Each structure stands twice: as structure tokens, then as C-alpha cells.
Structure 1
Amino acid sequence: MSSRYGLGMFQQQKQHMHMSPQLQQAIKILQLPTVELLELLREELEQNPFLEAEETVFAGADRPRSAKQADPLDYIAVRELSLERHLKEQVRFDDGLSQELKKIVYYIIGNLDANGYLDVTVDQLAKALQAQPQMVSQALHYVQSLEPAGVGARNLAECLQLQLDRSGAGSSLLTALITSHLEEIAEVQIPKLAKMLHAKQEEIVAAVHLIKSLHPRPGAAYGSDHADIIVPDVLVRSAGDQFVVSIREPAAPRLTMNAQYEGMVQELGRTHEAGRFMAAKRSAAAFLIKCLEQRRLTLLRVTRAIVEEQEAFFRSGSAYLKPMVLRQIAEKVGVHESTVSRATSGKYAQTPWGTYALSYFFPSGFGAGEDDASSAESVKASIRELVKQEPCEAPYSDQQLARLLEENGVPISRRTVAKYREELGIASSFKRKRAKEHGAD
């Protein structure tokens, strides 16, 4: 009987997406926040003789100075990215995550300490969220899959193990050392560890060296939301009944080609080795300038589209922010959703109501769908206004607030009202009543 299986060679056509180095560079430049972009350009200006920075007058300078003389980074307050924002930006654009799970993930992220650790149990989280423990465990596992590796751990051993698992360097010896012998590792008791774990001393030394290369506090490298100084990339200002969008100079640095080196390329030609080198540098410089202009235009078009879609916010404030998704702006501008995501990532807009991350204008719908008329921000604004107008002798309970919101077309549970009220720093109705009574006395 002949076998149905065998070895052989055959041809098969498959489609693969290939990203050229130039495309990768264009995507990187679009996505980079302004401070990181300027750092990149400073390196390029040093390495490529064809690049020149146009003359610019910097705010705060004693006199006009050329961009060659002045470093734009000297005029920008460096903004550290907070751990919470870094994690939430990774979650925000994950379309594969259900809204229910995403809410739990955000709650877990909000409960991480400055080092990236979670100091509450799954059962405690489940009770606070009134969710199933297995759903909370799934959300925690998701958080632990985010960058930086080790975030979401509940203790040092779990933090180190998460990093090892991510790197693929885990082993039974490393796990044993991490889970049961961190004290001996700290005291460098190599012979004792080798005897206890029935391993060679050189194996223990290598394992300890690897463990000490891990980060015991993965969140410590990130800044605090409360200490951030944000430099807006985009300026949105009102001009009569219209809004004008402009890109701030640091977010759209202008580079030009050096005329002197242009002439050298013509003289050397492409046959000489030096000529080929110069021609390659010239092409790289020209493409970088093109990428910068494309970045400026994309950021401008995307922001204009955001302003048009969120016009009520720009006219009346955060209470009028409506749910919006990347697809809406992508279709309006005529680009892919990923382009909108990259254009808004890490970018900020100065508006009549303050400075906001561009991602702020993409709030998820308050209810189950994307077309809901309310967003979390607008609901919070409504709660704040209702509390401000409530009778002094009988402050609204959370249930009363929920009913009033529902009468205004915002279906909401008492529990959600309580959550938003606490996030706004508003005390319970009982405490508000006591405070007003004492104030009257």
C-alpha cells in the first residue's frame, strides 16, 4: 500500500507586506513626539552635510539667532511620559479588546503604584468592580503583557519572572532562585545556593548575573502625570466664528539642502567613490526633508478634521466632547486608521480650553456603542453641574443623580455615577450635607 504522504518541492504564492527602509523612516518620523523628533534631527544634522536648519527666531532669545547657533531643545521643557499614560496608549488602539475587559484593564492600570506593582488582589478588584474574578484575572494577564515587561506584578518575584518569560530566558533554575532564594541572591551566597539547588557554582553565578540585570521596579523609569510640563505641537485658536489650526514651529522644523554640497555632487559625479557617497547622503537628506513636510501636512489635516468633528468641544468645553473613533478621522482625511493613530500619538494641542493630548479627542462611547451621544467626560461635567446646582438642604444622592441624568437622555447606573463622582473629588451626599450644615453654623 502506497503512502499518502511524502516529501517534495512545490511552489506557492503568498502575499507578504514588505516595508522598505524609507517607508519605515517615514512612519517613524510621523509617530515621533516633538522632543524625540528634534533629538533625531540633531543627530541627522551632525551626520549629513547636506542638511541645514533654516534660520528661526526663538522665543525668549535676547536677539535673533540662526538654528545652527541655537539648539531647539534648549527652548523646550522636557516632558516625561507617565507610566499610566504609556500603558493606556498601548491599550487605547487595541480593537481586539472588548469594552468590558478594557474598562477592567484601565481600572487595574489606575491602581498600579509608581514602581508598576499592583498591591491589591484579584478578589479585591473583582469585588470593587462587581466583576467575575476570571474576567479580572484575564485583564491582569493583559496588563502584564504590556510594556515595560514586569508591570502589573504583585511582588518582586512575579515581576522578575514576567521579565524572564518575556525574554524567553526562563528556566527551572531561574524560577527556583526567584521564587525562593532572593535573600541568598542579595547576599551573594553562591556556594550555599549551589548546594541547595544541586547546581554547579558557575550555573548559579550565570543565573544570578541574569537576574540582577532585570528591573525590579519597571515603572520607576517613568515620570508622574502631576509633574508633566507639556509642549503643544498644534495650536487651535478661534478667529470669529471659525477655528484656525496651525503647527507650532518646534513640531514642524524646517530643513533645507546645503547649496555648497549640492555643487560638489555635480562636480564629482556618480562614477567616483566619493561622488557615490555624496549622492547617497544627498538622497537621504532629500527624503528626510520630504518626510518632515509630509509629517507637518498630515498632523495639520488630522487636527483640522478633529476640530471639525469635535467643534462643540472647541466652542463650549469638555462637557460637549462626543465619542469618536480613529476611523471617522481616517475616512474624513482619506488615510488609513494607523496613520491617524501615529499622527496623534504623543502629540498635544493648545486649545481655548487648555492643552490636551490629541488622543483625548477619541473618547470611547459612554454606553455600548460608538454612536452614543455621551462620553465619560461629558457625563462627569454634567454631574459636576448638577451637584453645583443641588439644594443645600438636600444634596442629591448617587441614585438621584443617575435619575436626573437619565431624564436628560443619559442612561447610567448608580454605581457609575458614584465612580465618576469620586474621580471628580466630590464627596458623598451625606458628607456634602454635613459640610453645608457646618458651614451654615
Structure 2
Amino acid sequence: MRQGYGMFQQQTAKLRITPQLRKAIMILKLSTPELHEVVRRELVENPALDMAGYDWDTYHINNVSPKFFRHTATPDANYDAYLHAASNEVSLERHLKEQLSFAKKIPQTIRKVITFLIGNLDTNGYLGTTLEEVADICKVDMTSANYALRILQSFEPRGIGARNLQECLLLQVQSLSDCFPLVSLLIRSHLNEIADYRISKLATNLQVAPQEIQAAIDVIKGLNPRPGGAFHIETVPYIIPEVIIEKAGEQLIVLLHQATSSRLSVNGYYERMVKENTEYSKAAKFLSHKLHAARFFMKCVEQRRKTIFRVTQAIVEEQADFFWKGSGHLKPMTLKQIADKLGIHESTVSRATAGKYAQTPWGIFELKYFFPSGLQMDRGDSASSERMKLKIKEWINSESPRRPFSDQKLADLMKQEGFKVSRRTIAKYREELGISSSVRRKRI
């Protein structure tokens, strides 16, 4: 056979994701707030799609209830306007300007510089510019700029207007009447040693008792490194549980909020127009396409609801001990176990649990929470990471402050309980719990 170049036809089978399948996968992966937004956008873009209780004038994505969407056309007799008034949290800038307005005997020029300084504070309360730049922009000398900064640093909360962490802590120490000089010395010259908790080394170098170093560090720990943080207004994220899991006698039941798909429908007026318009026209083709898109969207939303319900039911069956007894009885579980149980792919389970929350007798948890990793025990059972963390927390809470348990000691205690765990695993779980090492927990 002679070899060479050429063009040949060849028939092959390939798996391709269609736009419809891609959209179905996207809808399954959405969290509840994201689904609300997609439904709202689809209602705006597709005239063939309707929704019961949808008000075009007053609907907003944040205006949701446990039934997902609330009809707002009919006024509520119990509506209290004061409860829905705009919040009036005091910002850091407003708090400082109010103090400036009450301050007496400050020249107008200095007031303008202080106002400029207030406007250049970051969310932590630190000054984000140099005094040279302040003097240049405000057209004042360095003496006036320094004077304005000192006045600002005398305002509450103490530490405001600092240019670094060291200055912030020193400003707060100066306001403490019963603070001993060792605290200021440690802040000025030994912050790195404090961070590394080198009490013995500090005691030797400064020729003081370790107990004095410990007491000074306790004072420093009580200071606020972010004095402006309390005034930083953040949007509070609200969680809307996708499912509710409740105890009913000796059974566990899974409840879903009113399904969005049950409120979606195809617009009957446009449907009749397509049926009555027998001529092939652009309008009929357009409406036919929109009707098909509306039905497919409704099908995707309903399929999402059914999939989440089936996955949650399987989770409840596998983790029944958790729902009856608490997080200490959560056992290791993988996505593959649920996928095999339901006869679906692991990726489908992953999408159905990502960003979805369940309200349980023990609180609200993301569905991903019920898939913890685990470790093998000596007797052949397996223990979840949550159970291990609970044991670590119990032992640390009962330890002696003078002789805290090291990670190796905790690992040995785990082995006595039958857990096969290494010191590195203990350290990882301890850090996830936000617990310091034994060196930092030690009290002299």
C-alpha cells in the first residue's frame, strides 16, 4: 500500500454537550439565590414564560420568602414601614467627624487637614498616606500636619490614624492608666518575638520573670489591631435552605420549599396564537421558539428539584445517626456512594450538593458537609474528620494550662481510643479548629 497525504471521510462517534444539556447542568449547579436570579432574567427575556404571583413593578431578587417568590401586589395589613426603613449604621468617617465637630479651639485650617486625614483612613482605621503628601495637598507645613494627626489619634476608638501596627498598639497603651512600662517596650522592640511566643528568650534578654512577660503579652492580646473594623459595614449573607430535614416520630422526613417549577407556566395567550396562526411567519416562528425554550426551562428547574430531593433522601438514609444523635456521629461518606445508590454520575451528585443548604435538627449545613473524609479505626470501623475534631476539642478544653497537650500527645490519645491518626493530621485538624499550638496555649 502506498502511503501519502490526502483527504478522507471517516465516521466516528463523539460525545458532545448540546446547548440544552449545558443549560440543564448549569441550572442544577445553581444555589437558591442564583436560581432566583436566573428565573427572574428568564421571565424578562422570554414572554412565553409566566409565573404565578410575579409582579413586574415590585419584584426584586432580594424580596424572597420560604416560598421563593412573594406576590406583593396586595398590601399586607400587618406591614410595618418602620421595620423596612433604611439602616442607619454609623460609619467610621461619620463617627470621627462628629467628634471633630465637638472639639473646641481647633483652627479652621487644622480642621480641614483633620477632615482630609479622616477621608484617607482605610477600613481598619490606618492612615493610607504619608504626612508629606498631606502637607503638600492641604498646603500646610509639616508641623501643622503633625498637629492635625495627633488630634485625630486622640479620638475614639483609640488607635485610629496609626500608620502601622506598632503605632496603633502604642496609641492604645497610652490610654491605659494602669499599664506597666514593659508592655510598651515589648511593642516597640519585640513584636516579632511576641508573635513567635518566645517567652523564655524575652525573659532572659530583658532580665525579668517569665510571668511578667506573660502578663504583658496578655495585655497586648487585649488590644485591637483593627480599631476601624467595628465600623466597617458589610452585607450579611442570608442562607435560604434548599431542603428541611425533620424528625417525625421515629422517622426522618425531607421537605422542600414550594418548588419554583410549580409556579412557572407557559403563557396561554401566546400558545393560542401559535396554534391559530397556520401561516409560516416570522412572528409564529419566534413564538414557537420561545414556547419551546419556556417548556425546556421549566423541565430543567423541575428536574433540578427532583434531583436535589433524591440526593438529600439518600444522604439522610446514609447519615441517619447524625440526624438523630448529632455531629459526633457523622460517618465518612463519598459522592460515589450516593451516586451508586441512585444510579447517577458522581458529577451530578456534586452539582446537586454544591451551594445547597439543609435545615436540620442540629442547625443549617451545606449538603457538602455530609461528605466528610474519614480515618480507619483499629476495630475496622471508620471515623469522620468531624468526630476527630470533636475529640481534639474535648481534650484541649480539659488540658492543664501549664502543660498543654502537644500534637504528638493528642495523636497518642487518639490511638488509645482506636483512631489511626498521625501527628500531622492532628495538626491539620487543630488548625482547622482555629486552635493554637501547645507552645502558644501554655500559661506560665
Instruction: Determine if contact 1:395/1:433 at 8 Å carries over to the other structure.
Output: yes
Question: Is 1:21 matched up with 2:30?
Answer: no
Deviation at 1:226, TM superposition (A): 11
In structure 1, the gaps of 5 or more residues are 56-65, 78-224, 436-441
SS at match of 1:434: coil
Instruction: Determine if contact 1:233/1:251 at 8 Å carries over to the other structure.
Output: no
With over 3 angstroms needed to count, the CA separation of the structure-2 counterparts of 1:4 and 1:273, relative to structure 1, is closer
Question: Is 1:73 matched up with 2:61?
Answer: yes
Out of 334, 337, 342, which is 2:343 matched to? Answer: 334
Deviation at 1:298, TM superposition (A): 0.6
TM-score of the pair, normalised by structure 2 = 0.55
State the one-letter code of the partner of 2:316.
V
State the one-letter code of the partner of 1:235.
I
Matches within 5 A, 1:39-438: 39-55=37-53, 66=54, 70-71=58-59, 73-75=61-63, 228-249=237-258, 254-269=263-278, 271-366=280-375, 373-389=382-398, 396-428=405-437, 434=443
Deviation at 1:323, TM superposition (A): 1.8
Instruction: Determine if contact 2:260/2:301 at 8 Å carries over to the other structure.
Output: no
Instruction: Kindly tell me the number of residue pairs found equivalent between the two proteins.
Output: 275
SS at match of 1:319: helix
With over 3 angstroms needed to count, the CA separation of the structure-2 counterparts of 1:265 and 1:315, relative to structure 1, is same
Q: Quick check: 373-382 or 10-19, which moved more?
A: 10-19
State the one-letter code of the partner of 1:45.
L
Instruction: Determine if contact 1:234/1:245 at 8 Å carries over to the other structure.
Output: yes
Instruction: Determine if contact 1:53/1:67 at 8 Å carries over to the other structure.
Output: no
Instruction: Determine if contact 2:261/2:298 at 8 Å carries over to the other structure.
Output: no
With over 3 angstroms needed to count, the CA separation of the structure-2 counterparts of 1:282 and 1:252, relative to structure 1, is closer
State the one-letter code of the partner of 1:403.
D
With over 3 angstroms needed to count, the CA separation of the structure-2 counterparts of 1:6 and 1:344, relative to structure 1, is same
SS at match of 2:332: coil
Q: Quick check: 342-351 or 410-419, which moved more?
A: 410-419
SS at match of 1:286: helix
Instruction: Report the Cα distance in structure 1 between the residues aligned to 2:260 and 2:407, rounded to whole angstroms.
Output: 44
SS at match of 1:74: coil
Instruction: Determine if contact 2:48/2:266 at 8 Å carries over to the other structure.
Output: yes
SS at match of 1:308: helix
With over 3 angstroms needed to count, the CA separation of the structure-2 counterparts of 1:415 and 1:19, relative to structure 1, is closer
With over 3 angstroms needed to count, the CA separation of the structure-2 counterparts of 1:253 and 1:403, relative to structure 1, is farther
Instruction: Calculate the aligned-residue CA RMSD, in Å.
Output: 3.2
Instruction: Determine if contact 1:34/1:251 at 8 Å carries over to the other structure.
Output: no
SS at match of 2:255: strand
Deviation at 1:381, TM superposition (A): 0.9
Instruction: Determine if contact 2:28/2:352 at 8 Å carries over to the other structure.
Output: yes
State the one-letter code of the partner of 2:306.
L
Instruction: Determine if contact 2:331/2:383 at 8 Å carries over to the other structure.
Output: yes
Deviation at 1:292, TM superposition (A): 1.0
Q: How big is each residue's C-alpha offset from its partner over 1:325-364, in whole Å with a ceiling of 9 and x where there is no partner?
A: 1111111122111211111122122222222221222223
SS at match of 1:245: strand
Q: Tell me which structure has the larger Cα radius of gyration.
A: 2
SS at match of 1:75: coil
Instruction: Report the Cα distance in structure 2 between the residues aligned to 1:17 and 1:326, rounded to whole angstroms.
Output: 24
State the one-letter code of the partner of 1:360.
Y
SS at match of 2:382: coil
State the one-letter code of the partner of 1:245.
V
Instruction: Report the Cα distance in structure 2 between the residues aligned to 1:269 and 1:350, rounded to whole angstroms.
Output: 51
Deviation at 1:433, TM superposition (A): 6.4
Instruction: Determine if contact 1:269/1:276 at 8 Å carries over to the other structure.
Output: no
Instruction: Report the Cα distance in structure 2 between the residues aligned to 1:377 and 1:270, rounded to whole angstroms.
Output: 65
TM-score of the pair, normalised by structure 1 = 0.55
Instruction: Report the Cα distance in structure 1 between the residues aligned to 2:279 and 2:27, rounded to whole angstroms.
Output: 29
With over 3 angstroms needed to count, the CA separation of the structure-2 counterparts of 1:341 and 1:70, relative to structure 1, is farther
Instruction: Report the Cα distance in structure 2 between the residues aligned to 1:418 and 1:340, rounded to whole angstroms.
Output: 31
State the one-letter code of the partner of 1:352.
P
2:6 corresponds to: 8
Instruction: Report the Cα distance in structure 1 between the residues aligned to 2:235 and 2:430, rounded to whole angstroms.
Output: 20
Instruction: Report the Cα distance in structure 2 between the residues aligned to 1:419 and 1:38, rounded to whole angstroms.
Output: 38
Deviation at 1:377, TM superposition (A): 1.6
Instruction: Report the Cα distance in structure 2 between the residues aligned to 1:414 and 1:426, rounded to whole angstroms.
Output: 15
SS at match of 1:8: coil
